[in-house]
Amino acid sequence: MTQHHQPGHDAERLWLSQLEQKVAALRDSLRPREIADVARRSGAAADGGLLRLRMLFDDLMVDTNGYIVTDTDGSELDAFRQSLVLTYLDEADGGPPAERWVTFRDLPNGSFYNQAFQRYAPDRLVARWGLEPAGFDVACRALGGRPIDLGDAAYAFTVLPRIDMAAVYWLGDEDFPSRASLLFDANAHFHMVVDGLAILGSQLVSRILAEG
């Protein structure tokens, strides 16, 4: 399966720098835990020794014997996506969504990545569609986005069972450029570290662009 990331992105470069050690440490952290507790906190479905969950429109399975993440056909995910899933399983605290949207900057420590995040996430939507955002609507609907009442067009997505994001488009004119924003449920940081949220946001934008 295609890996939707670009190594030059700040958050992803930092994430990749110690990837092997990160995955090993996550597996060590998760193995002693009760499967039912991991499932409850993450919203994954427990199925014997497996956990089933969906990340960015892909159905995945986690073999809890070794915490190996695979596609539904049994193909093991690359280490990058393994680390995202395992970080989520390790971090998720089981709390409900806040049902309130915040910007990336509003997340704890979000200001550290915010400038880079804007470049490689929402700014790419405007670069693609500018003053003609019909493709944005088509792409978001094709991915199952739920229309919400923000901007001129906005769609919410569940990127992991307890993490919702929203892509919002404000249409400009000849004098004022269009702009886009990627918003997060205000409780998203209780389920994923902030650089992981940055990466998921970038990947969501990549999927929207690919669909359009």
Average pLDDT in the chain: 92
Could you give the dihedral angle defined by the CA atoms of residues 45, 159, 31 and 41, in that order, rounded to the nearest 10 degrees?
Answer: -60
Q: How confident is the model at residue 212 (pLDDT cuts 50, 70, 90)?
A: confident
The model's pLDDT over 102-137, given as tens digits with 9 standing for 90+, comes to: 999 999 988 888 888 888 789 999 999 999 999 999
The DSSP H or E segment spanning 206 is helix 194-211
Q: How confident is the model at residue 174 (pLDDT cuts 50, 70, 90)?
A: confident
Q: pLDDT exceeding 90 applies to what percent of the chain?
A: 81
**Is residue 55 within 8 Å of residue 43, measured between CB atoms?**
no
Those residues with Cβ within 8 angstroms of residue 99's Cβ, 6 or more apart along the chain or in another chain: 185
Those residues with Cβ within 8 angstroms of residue 203's Cβ, 6 or more apart along the chain or in another chain: 4, 5, 56
Average pLDDT over residues 154-168: 98
Average pLDDT over residues 186-200: 95
The model's pLDDT over 43-81, given as tens digits with 9 standing for 90+, comes to: 999 999 999 999 999 999 999 999 999 999 999 999 999
Average pLDDT over residues 160-165: 98
pTM above 0.85, yes or no: yes
Stronger pLDDT, 54 or 20, i.e. the higher one:
54
**pLDDT confidence of residue 4:** 41
